[in-house]
Structure formats: structure tokens, C-alpha cells
Amino acid sequence: MHSDIEGILISQQRIAARIKELAAQITADHSPSKLDGGEITIVPIMTGAMIFTSDLIRQIPIAMKIGMMTVSSYPGKSVQSRGSQMLANQVGEITGRHVLVVDDILDSGGTIHMVVPALREMGAASVKSCVLLRKDRPTAHAVHVDYVGFEIPDKFVVGYGLDYNDYYRNLPDIVTLKEQVHAT
């Protein structure tokens, strides 16, 4: 697995430091006075956001529920978006709740563009979004997100939850792969 890595783009130390800042900002923005007595539901977009979400929410000391949504945009060995498709909705009851969608990366923008209105239609009082990474692409900048961890070049990355053909999610850093790995 490690021989497939071209280089580390964002180290686990940088990820951890940035998550601290994001969590502090999210905590301040969701203080009880700002929620008007409401509660929050965190919605990680599975499977990519799993590791990011678990690190992030343990630094947000606010009463919360977690509901999951599974969306597929890079099925199998794709390294380009095939369009976003909702595979499972386990968000639960969110009527009147303040929802924070968490995703690993903003690329074509298709996922956030589909998920945010869907959650509003399910009756959420508000819907905000947080992505760990945003690619330097016009489509990624055309979609509104409330919290962004890192701006990255338009490259295919894996690790820290992000996969290629479902592998590499367990790498602690965000890395790029050698060309021959995803050219096959």
C-alpha cells in the first residue's frame, strides 16, 4: 500500500490542527443562544467523511445526534465524478433540527448540491455544510459551503477516509497516488 503513494499532500498533524480550528468555529456558531433552543444533527456523507467526522465531532461539545447518508460519485476505480447518487438515507427525523452536513471533499459540487436541498425538504430548520478539502476547480467554488478545511490543487487524493476503489481510507495522511496505480 505504501509503495503506491506518490507524496503526502497534507500530513496528519496538519489535519489535526485544522480540525481543532474548524471545531472551535462550528462550536461558536452553534451555541445554544444561536440555535434558539434547537439541537443539531450531524450528517456525514459516507463513506469518505467517516474519519473526518469522527475526529471533528469529538471536539464539538454540544448535544448532537448523528444521521448518515450514503452518496456515491466516484464508484469503483473512477477518478472523475460520475454524478452523485444517493444510495442510502439514514438521517432520521430532522424536522426543526439544525443540520450540519460533513463531507470529505468538494470537487464537482454535485454531492453538496444534491444533499443540502434534500435535507431542507426533509424539514431541517437550517442546513450548513462542512468539507475537509476543496479542490481548485470552478465547479467546486460555484457551490456554497460554510466551512472548508483546506484548499487543494485539482488532483486525485486518497487517505484519511478518501478511497480509490475502496482502498487507502485508513492512511492517516492525505496523499496522492503514483500515476500507474490509478492508470490501471
43 forms part of the interface with ligand 5GP (CB under 6 A): no
Asked if the bond preceding 47 is cis, omega within 30° of 0, the reply is yes
For residue 53, the partner it binds in ligand 5GP, Mg ion, none, with Cβ less than 5 to 8 A by kind, is: none
**Choices 15-23, 87-95, 117-125, 157-165; region in contact with ligand 5GP by CB under 6 A:** 157-165
- Collapsing DSSP states into helix, strand and coil, what is residue 106? strand
Taking the complex as a whole, how short is the minimal distance between the CB of residue 68 and ligand 5GP, in angstroms? 13
Q: Which residues contact 94 (CB under 8 A, 6 or more apart)?
A: 41, 67, 119, 122, 123, 124
Cα–Cα nearest to 10, from 2, 20, 21, 18: 18
**Choices 6-14, 44-52, 149-157, 174-182; region in contact with Mg ion by CB under 5 A:** 44-52
Q: Could you tell me where the beta strands, DSSP code E, fall in the chain?
A: 5-10, 40-46, 64-66, 68-72, 85-90, 98-106, 126-135, 147-152, 157-158, 174-177
User: What is the size of the binding site for ligand 5GP (CB under 6 A)?
Assistant: 21
The residues annotated as belonging to the active site are: 107
* CA–CA separation, 73 and 82 (whole Å): 5
Taking the complex as a whole, how short is the minimal distance between the CB of residue 48 and ligand 5GP, in angstroms? 4
106 forms part of the interface with ligand 5GP (CB under 6 A): yes
Residue placing its CB nearer to Mg ion in the complex, 23 or 51: 51
Contact pick of 98, 109, 119, 175 for ligand 5GP (by CB under 6 A)? 109
Taking the complex as a whole, how short is the minimal distance between the CB of residue 157 and ligand 5GP, in angstroms? 4
